[in-house]
Structure 1
Amino acid sequence: MHSEPYLLDPSADGVHVLWHTGAPASGAVLLGNRRVEATSSALVALHDEDGVRATVYRHWADVRGLGAGRTPYRVVTVLSDGAVDESDTYTLAPAVPGGHPVRLLLTSDHQLWRMTPANLAKVAETVGVELDGVLFAGDMVGVPARAGDWFDHPNGRGFFAALTGRADTVIAGRHYRGAPLLQHAPLFPAIGNHEVMGRRHHTLQERFDDPAPGDWDTAAYEELFPVPRGPAGPRWWSRTIGDVFVVSLFVTRAWRDPVATYLEPGQFLFERVDAGSPQHTWLTAELGSAAARAARFRVVVFHHASHGLGAHVVPAYTDPVEAGGRYAYPVENDVVLRDLAPLLGAAGVDLVLNGHNHLWNRFRDAAGVNWLESSNVGNSYGAFPERGDPGGLAPVLPTVAPLTDPAGTPLPYVADDDVTVFSVLDSAAGAVHSYRFDTRDPDGPVVLFDELPLD
């Protein structure tokens, strides 16, 4: 196993470059005649399916002293036996200066699903790979402590493989490899429920399926994405990316199947974000900061969606209440709707990016906050418009080219196992553009189907 480089957390004059090998090695980033040595260390949180620690070495270089614009680079790795491996040439850049326009890919819920490499290939064909960032609203893989999910899964769709152009999957006779996005564009992630491991068991799948209050961890995520960092390390953070102020929160819960959800132990929230919690208190200060107020747009990213038409938007995002031997989740206690939404509206947040439901839909609340989920990337779990949004909002119909039902009625969502979706925030245009591609027609167009104005 030898991964391509990926970029994290650019600063005013630099950016972090990371890559991994399956054997001890040393490494460096090469920028013309300049060489920046990497710090190499063994990771401890990744394992094979039987729980045996996987051999994975992380190489991490903090590249500083960059000028404005893009700089070509490559990484070189020297293995313990003296073998040398050198990557292709890519480009990196420091942080986009405040006030400057940016283009950000909005995505989530890749999880090694079938359409993900096709989705990323179409991103590259449509908007290129030299973006200013990738905002990822959680659920990167299936089991976060399983090394293969990140790098070399047998299905050819490991997380880094797809996002660095090394995936291998075929749909309708067309071969897709993803795209080299993370070699050029820094990743800005948020934690989803598939970044959390549970209690000790023999297999990783059993451990993932059995978290308990106080007995769970995000160790693999924190080793792979050690930056950006906030007061709780990489679990939540804020950054200014050009003219966009971005906050990433840890808002997700232990998922149970539709039966176990209502029986003991039920679902529970991993990290508190209720009013008065450390995360909520920190968020209040961040949204009131000079950096947030100075930005043209304010974006908050977290995994769980309390507005939506998807299967996983219910039950409400709250603690279970025992009722007649079963658990209930009163919607009036939904923490996102009760404690987060008023704060976001009062702070002038323009966009909330969620995931979890594997579909595309969007809403706009009375305070002017846009709630977008653009997670119909690799697959879908369906939409349930007859149930409606538990938060009481009406979905916004796509403004350009909505899909239609068999009767020709426009649909306010995309929830399809053949049609993949991606969204791009273009701050110069003051809008989020959403695109769809029907994988059943490999020579068909990428269709702009929605424009969400942010101004």
Structure 2
Amino acid sequence: MPVALLCEPYLLDPRPDGIHVLWHTERVGRCQVVLAGVDVPHLTDQQAYAAATGRAESGDGWRRFPAETRLLSRMREDAESSVPGRTYSGVTRRLVHRHLARVGGLPAGRTPYRVVSIDDDGRADVTPVYSLAPAAPSGRPVRLLLTSDHQLMPMVPANLAMVGETAGTALDGVLMAGDMVNVADRASDWFDSTRRPAFFASFAGRAPGRWPGAPILPNTPLYPSIGNHEVMGRWSETGSLEEQFNDARPGEWDVTTYEELFPVPRSDAGGPRWWSRTIGDVHLISLFVTAIWRSPKLTGRGKFQEAAQDVDHPQRWGHGQFIFEPIARGSAQYRWLANELASPAARSARYRVVMFHHPSHGLGHHSAPPFTDPVPAVRPGGITYHYPLGDDYVLRDVEPLLDEAQVHLVLNGHSHVWNRFRNAAGVHWLETSNVGNSYGAYDVTSGRSRELPDGYVQQGDPGGLTPIVPTVAPLAGPDGAALPYVASNEVTVFTLLDTADGLVRSYRFDTVDPEAGVVLFDEFALDGP
């Protein structure tokens, strides 16, 4: 890893003639620039340094784009952090500066670029040569990686390495349906954890171990959505960051770090929390649809009750599995979604894709209880919470909007499985988040039940859809029956959407048997069953 850079550059929100390039350092530095142009690959490090610091803003085959720098406001470490050469006894502020350069005037196609970062002592880091591109022209076919829930899981580097081998590293976008790290305000989760593969390290091909990942985000723009792990709870200078993450309350939660790391794409109504973009022939809508995770256990503070000892202490209540941002009919986000689906950009797109974190259709554990506000009941000696299935906001309110707008694909995450469905209106629902830490699949073929209280869907899709068995090479259960899911801590999955042929292809890779290679196991057409 270079001396100053905490991560390799990553790309956000391409525009018709430009794109945003971001990178991070601990110190402000003397100079932070992007060099872009056809001759950038031929510059030596010394020539790149001269181009970054000289008077001329351009030269033969290169242009210079200075970055705007700001200090991230909530980055910290704690005793659970694993930072190279450092230890922390408690919650400690960590200085992380964001550098954002707007690279403009780009021609069609790919342009080579490098970042030059010069620190406060005059030491220069010059990155390898990567490539960037303006937004894909409206109507042009694109290739997109669909993923979520990386959370520093051990199979992530292998997963991304196989993406690179299968599809290359220069795609039109990475659609990330939330849960990028475990604790959003822990800097090392993003940049340099030595215990587990950090988010940007894996996506830059710099993770330690057998599989380093692949340099995807330095070459491909990221389109993110917010998962529950991007939300922090109440600020505290004591305890641990994990405790703070779990200490969110209604109206007392925070997504500042997410918004500072990913300031774009954004919309006027939702900022970076919900937005839309047209990527070639795809119109993508990203929503903020997630809830606090609470333990499903029936003792202590959790989804279904408050701890008995906390009943008389409201400041300790967890308030059940409450929703962060409303999406119910009539909410600001719902109204924006309805208008967006009816917009000319959405209606004229060849494909319409909607992305959010919570999987109301799914075989995973997190598809239940329903995605609705907890209904409290106060009884002698206890407070319990109920979640009526008929009030699931995704199934009751959002899905009819998507059906009416003829959305082609809904991308979810959260349950750490691969499964897919197609509803009666022809909308495909896909979760492709199997990179480890699987909680299992709860289907008749697995024989497993969710172990929830009576009255909740214990097995199958709570939304009532039948899971689709992979069309090419499904995994088989012990009895030889084809499984409609992948839920494994050894077999990892990634999915590619290629609109040139309108196909969504899912691949699996067995990290225990790598010689078997990447296996295409499912393929379906967005316009077909």
Q: Same fold by TM (over 0.5)?
A: yes
The 8 Å contact of residues 399 and 449 in structure 1, kept in 2 or not, is answered as yes
* Letter paired with 1:16: H
Q: Which residue does the alignment assign to 2:475?
A: 403
Q: Secondary structure at the match of 1:443?
A: helix
Shift of 1:156: 4.4
Q: CA offsets per residue over residues 370-429 of structure 1, 9 Å max, x none?
A: 000000023311101030110000001100000000111000000000000000010011
Distance 1:373 1:124 in 2: 21
Distance 2:349 2:35 in 1: 34
The 8 Å contact of residues 111 and 378 in structure 1, kept in 2 or not, is answered as no
Distance 2:199 2:205 in 1: 10
Q: Which residue does the alignment assign to 1:187?
A: 222
Distance 2:436 2:476 in 1: 21
Aligned partner of 2:425 among 362, 367, 370: 367
Q: Secondary structure at the match of 1:395?
A: coil
Distance 2:479 2:196 in 1: 38
Aligned partner of 2:351 among 266, 272, 297: 297
The 8 Å contact of residues 134 and 187 in structure 1, kept in 2 or not, is answered as yes
Aligned partner of 1:383 among 441, 446, 456: 441
Q: Which residue does the alignment assign to 1:172?
A: none
Q: Secondary structure at the match of 1:367?
A: coil
Q: Secondary structure at the match of 2:117?
A: strand
The 8 Å contact of residues 109 and 378 in structure 1, kept in 2 or not, is answered as no
Q: Which residue does the alignment assign to 1:5?
A: 9
Q: Secondary structure at the match of 1:28?
A: strand
Distance 1:130 1:379 in 2: 28
Aligned partner of 1:439 among 511, 515, 527: 511
* Letter paired with 1:2: L
Q: Which residue does the alignment assign to 2:138?
A: 98
Q: CA offsets per residue over residues 156-179 of structure 1, 9 Å max, x none?
A: 40000011111113xxxxx11110
Shift of 1:316: 0.5
Equivalent residue runs for 1:6-405 within 5 Å: 6-25=10-29, 26-32=31-37, 33-49=62-78, 50-169=90-209, 175-201=210-236, 202=238, 203-230=240-267, 231-259=269-297, 260-264=302-306, 265-323=319-377, 325-386=383-444, 387-405=459-477
Equivalent residue runs for 1:413-452 within 5 Å: 413-452=485-524
Distance 1:358 1:256 in 2: 16
Moved more, 359-368 or 30-39: 30-39
Distance 1:76 1:350 in 2: 41
Shift of 1:442: 2.0
Distance 1:269 1:223 in 2: 22
Distance 1:82 1:156 in 2: 31
Distance 2:321 2:478 in 1: 37
The 8 Å contact of residues 436 and 488 in structure 2, kept in 1 or not, is answered as no
Runs of 4+ with deviation above 3 angstroms: none
The 8 Å contact of residues 154 and 196 in structure 2, kept in 1 or not, is answered as no
Q: Secondary structure at the match of 2:151?
A: coil
Give the unaligned 5+ runs of structure 1. Answer: 170-174
Shift of 1:180: 0.2
Q: CA offsets per residue over residues 261-295 of structure 1, 9 Å max, x none?
A: 10132110000001110101001111001000111
Q: How many residues align?
A: 450
The 8 Å contact of residues 119 and 378 in structure 1, kept in 2 or not, is answered as no
User: What is the identity percentage for the equivalent residue pairs of Structure 1 and Structure 2?
Assistant: 60
Q: CA offsets per residue over residues 218-264 of structure 1, 9 Å max, x none?
A: 00000100000112210000000000000000000011011211013
Q: TM-score, normalised by structure 1?
A: 0.97
* Letter paired with 1:48: E
Moved more, 124-133 or 436-445: 436-445
Q: CA offsets per residue over residues 81-123 of structure 1, 9 Å max, x none?
A: 1111100000000000000000000000000001000000000
The 8 Å contact of residues 112 and 378 in structure 1, kept in 2 or not, is answered as no
* Letter paired with 2:77: D
* Letter paired with 1:414: V
